[in-house]
Chains A and B, each alone.
Chain A
Amino acid sequence: MQQPNRLKPFFENISFDREDNTMVVNFGPQHPSAHGQLRLILELQGEEVIKAVPDIGYLHRGMEKMGENMIYNEFLPTTDRMDYIAATSNNYGFALTVERLIGIEAPRRAQAIRTMLLELNRIISHLFWLATHALDVGAMSVFLYAFREREFAMDLMEDYCGARLTHSAVRIGGVPLDLPNNWIDDLQKFITTLTEQIEVYEGLLTKNRIWRMRLENVGIITKKMAKSWGVTGPSLRGSGVKWDLRKEIPYELYGELDFDVPVSTRCDSYGRYLCYMQEMRESMKILKQLVPIYEQSNSDLMAKSPKYISPTKEQMMTQNYSLMQHFVLVTQGMRPPVGEIYVATESPKGELGFYINSDGSPYPYKLKVRAPSFWHTGLLQDLLPGHQLADVVTIIGNLNIVFGEIDR
């Protein structure tokens, strides 16, 4: 350990090559535009960043350790707390991994509901990204408008599952509830509102001189850099790589839906902004297509697999063996087959993957969460040098990092 004193403050063994008169600035961990608990140690020459060292771990709760000591159903609500801006995408990613491990598939209605929730979550997340990013760059009104529409989307989530932020709206094997009455109508109303409002946001930003000056040619992630750093999601598509897991390796109902994958070859923050805006439109397109699929499906909500999934409430209350089965599944937990599996889904931030190594016991032997933001933050150390201090805020906001999933 170091011996810090007044002349040599504690800098956690970070050695900066100090050849000339540069300044070390501690950015965060409490900084409004750090989007969570990000600490950046920046070395500045004038206002230019020469070296950047991201420091994370301020929100570390040991999710993977918790996962290894919880039965599978118990861990599902914990996943909410990873990417808390779009909680359902985490729930779903975990549920899908366990479903593939035990070899079951959710009924069609459950799939339709899940896909709807996933896309609604994508819109919520993208609106949040747009709002906070615009606020960081200085466009306050966009923040207010985008949060208004996000509120409507969160009302829809609340009507479905009762929660606004930590949804736990997905279960292993399906969904717990059917959509409430009028939910579809409300959803269609919301889509109409958002379609109009996206025009408003774009009217405020896309051709705005200040917005373009702050975003264009700022934070250029080349294709090579993106692949090397494991950048995924809209950030990768903003670098000209057309890669969306929903399209390329489809899961759930995405294989039968018609949507485009927006790509920008600009590689800068502005290109990523264009991708995000277009992705919201695509999500609405998907939501519209899901309404008839939902209506044509029969009413099953949970997969039937007595070995792994609890029976329905009705069965439990009438059949003795179902009640016993439920009791065993709740107290001991399901015992999936021995083996290992990695399943990736396209969360609003990028490739969200869950690796589960099962030894046949009710607790996973190893659980690893591949959170996309983790490497988007790591990328900062290569991306920031050469930029101005003001651009640091733009780049952090633009990469859409969420600390719940970085620190886990």
Chain B
Amino acid sequence: MRKYEDKTNKQKKSYHTDRFYKSPTLPKLDVCSNSLFAMDLSSLASIVDIKDAYIQAGHMIVYINHTDNKKAISHMRDTRAYDFLVELSAIDYIKDQDGFEIFYEMLSTTKKTRIRLKCFLNKNDTIQSVCHIFAMANWSEREMFDMYGIKVKNHPYMKRILMPDDWHDHPLLKTYPLTGDESASWYEVDQIFGKQNRDKIGEELRDTARVDRYDTNRFSRLGHEVPKGVDITNGEPDTPIRYQEDGGSLLVTKFDKKPSKILDKRK
């Protein structure tokens, strides 16, 4: 039987997890426990709907609707002194919730506090660009599109940023394979020679860094050189190697160790 592969999550998984192991959770504090955050939150609540809010690891995390992202960010910048949008990216929850979570990490240099605005975006929805509020979002949103395929509306230059233009798929999705997939390596073999000849032809070599130790046509074997193209599958002929230096080098005629200075200690 063919081994079952989870197509919705091709990422690496732990080979063993204890059935009775329950992960602890980073404590979530109530927003009221910090007066600065409480004021920020009540101010934000007067502008947009708040779905959830708590403090975790010293950051206030606020869940909002994805349509309110521009309103919330410009409000936090203009009235709550959050003058930096530090980071912006998405988290892939397609398998469980059929969408992404997008987070906006903001920093206030006057209050020395950090908040994270989060919103949920369905897989096929688009989100409004915030790059007219914070120019840094220009590149972050391009990266987000490149890595997750999330389309951003009203972005001045929506184009891949790290991957090549003609790249297929988005690499940070959980469905993106970690190695080239198996069917692709047989595709050309099947097309040209037919499926029945798979045994004779063999898999297409798709890893260009792979070195076949018996391939004497394309790879030279350092220290064990044989003439090009010799078949060495049944042992290799002994090829003596002579170095120019054996019996005196052609270039160095006279080398006197005395005048050269050997340091006892590094300077």
B14 interface contact, C-beta 8 A: yes
Interface residues of A in 1-60 (CB under 8 A from B): 1, 12-13, 56-57, 60
B16 interface contact, C-beta 8 A: yes
CA A335 – CA B17 in complex, angstroms? 10
CA A374 – CA B172 in complex, angstroms? 18
The reply to whether B86 and A370 contact each other, CB–CB distance below 8 Å, is: yes
Please give, as numbers and ranges, the residues of chain B lying within 8 Å of A192 by CB-CB distance: none
Q: Please give the residue numbers on chain A whose beta carbons come within 8 Å of chain B beta carbons, in ascending order.
A: 1, 12-13, 56-57, 60, 62, 64-65, 68-70, 100-101, 155, 225, 227-230, 241, 243, 248-249, 331-333, 335, 337-342, 344, 351, 353, 355, 357, 359-363, 365-366, 368, 370, 374-375, 377-379, 382, 407-408
CA A331 – CA B166 in complex, angstroms? 38
Interface residues of B in 43-102 (CB under 8 A from A): 56-57, 59, 61, 83-87, 89, 91-92
Please give, as numbers and ranges, the residues of chain A lying within 8 Å of B23 by CB-CB distance: 335, 337-338, 359-360
Please give, as numbers and ranges, the residues of chain B lying within 8 Å of A101 by CB-CB distance: 26, 57
B155 interface contact, C-beta 8 A: no
B12 interface contact, C-beta 8 A: yes
The reply to whether A228 and B136 contact each other, CB–CB distance below 8 Å, is: yes
CA A155 – CA B266 in complex, angstroms? 9
Given known A-B contacts A57-B161, A227-B84, A361-B17, A339 and B26 have beta carbons under 8 A apart: yes
Please give, as numbers and ranges, the residues of chain B lying within 8 Å of A56 by CB-CB distance: 161-162
Given known A-B contacts A229-B135, A230-B85, A332 and B15 have beta carbons under 8 A apart: yes
CA A12 – CA B86 in complex, angstroms? 29
B203 interface contact, C-beta 8 A: no
User: 20 pairs across A/B with beta carbons < 8 Å?
Assistant: A13-B159, A56-B161, A57-B161, A228-B136, A230-B86, A241-B109, A337-B24, A337-B26, A338-B25, A339-B56, A340-B26, A340-B56, A341-B59, A342-B116, A353-B86, A355-B89, A363-B14, A370-B86, A378-B135, A382-B135
- Ranked nearest first, the 4 interchain pairs of A and B with the lowest CB-CB distance are A339-B26, A360-B23, A230-B136, A378-B139
- Nearest-neighbor residue (CB-CB) of A377 within chain B: B139
Interface residues of B in 110-147 (CB under 8 A from A): 112, 114, 116, 134-136, 138-139, 147
State which of B12, B57, B138, B147 has its C-beta within 8 Å of the C-beta of A341. B57
State which of B92, B105, B163 has its C-beta within 8 Å of the C-beta of A342. B105
- Nearest-neighbor residue (CB-CB) of A340 within chain B: B56
CA A386 – CA B103 in complex, angstroms? 35
- Nearest-neighbor residue (CB-CB) of B56 within chain A: A339
State which of A65, A229, A331, A370 has its C-beta within 8 Å of the C-beta of B171. A65
B168 interface contact, C-beta 8 A: no
**Per-residue interface assignment for chain B, residues 254 to 267, with 1 indicating a CB less than 8 Å from any chain A CB and 0 otherwise:** 00000000000010
* Size bracket, chain B contacts: 35 or more
CA A361 – CA B25 in complex, angstroms? 12
Interface core residue of B86, B163, B166 (most chain A CB under 10 Å): B86
B13 interface contact, C-beta 8 A: yes
Please give, as numbers and ranges, the residues of chain A lying within 8 Å of B135 by CB-CB distance: 225, 228-229, 378-379, 382
The reply to whether B13 and A361 contact each other, CB–CB distance below 8 Å, is: yes
Please give, as numbers and ranges, the residues of chain B lying within 8 Å of A342 by CB-CB distance: 57, 59, 86-87, 105, 114, 116
Shortest distance between the CB of A332 and any CB in chain B (Å): 6
CA A262 – CA B172 in complex, angstroms? 39
Please give, as numbers and ranges, the residues of chain B lying within 8 Å of A229 by CB-CB distance: 134-136
CA A241 – CA B165 in complex, angstroms? 37
- Nearest-neighbor residue (CB-CB) of B15 within chain A: A332
The reply to whether A230 and B134 contact each other, CB–CB distance below 8 Å, is: yes
CA A360 – CA B86 in complex, angstroms? 26
Please give, as numbers and ranges, the residues of chain A lying within 8 Å of B11 by CB-CB distance: 68-69, 363
B241 interface contact, C-beta 8 A: no
Please give, as numbers and ranges, the residues of chain A lying within 8 Å of B89 by CB-CB distance: 355, 366, 368
B180 interface contact, C-beta 8 A: no
- Nearest-neighbor residue (CB-CB) of A341 within chain B: B57
B21 interface contact, C-beta 8 A: yes
CA A101 – CA B25 in complex, angstroms? 10
The reply to whether B162 and A407 contact each other, CB–CB distance below 8 Å, is: yes
B209 interface contact, C-beta 8 A: no
- Nearest-neighbor residue (CB-CB) of A230 within chain B: B136
- Nearest-neighbor residue (CB-CB) of B57 within chain A: A341
**Per-residue interface assignment for chain B, residues 138 to 179, with 1 indicating a CB less than 8 Å from any chain A CB and 0 otherwise:** 110000000100000000000111111110000110001010
The reply to whether B87 and A60 contact each other, CB–CB distance below 8 Å, is: no
Shortest distance between the CB of A326 and any CB in chain B (Å): 16
The reply to whether A1 and B166 contact each other, CB–CB distance below 8 Å, is: yes
Please give, as numbers and ranges, the residues of chain A lying within 8 Å of B178 by CB-CB distance: 69
Please give, as numbers and ranges, the residues of chain B lying within 8 Å of A1 by CB-CB distance: 165-166
CA A355 – CA B116 in complex, angstroms? 11
CA A248 – CA B174 in complex, angstroms? 37
Please give, as numbers and ranges, the residues of chain A lying within 8 Å of B17 by CB-CB distance: 361
State which of A338, A370, A378 has its C-beta within 8 Å of the C-beta of B87. A370
Please give, as numbers and ranges, the residues of chain A lying within 8 Å of B28 by CB-CB distance: 339
Given known A-B contacts A228-B135, A374-B139, A338 and B26 have beta carbons under 8 A apart: yes
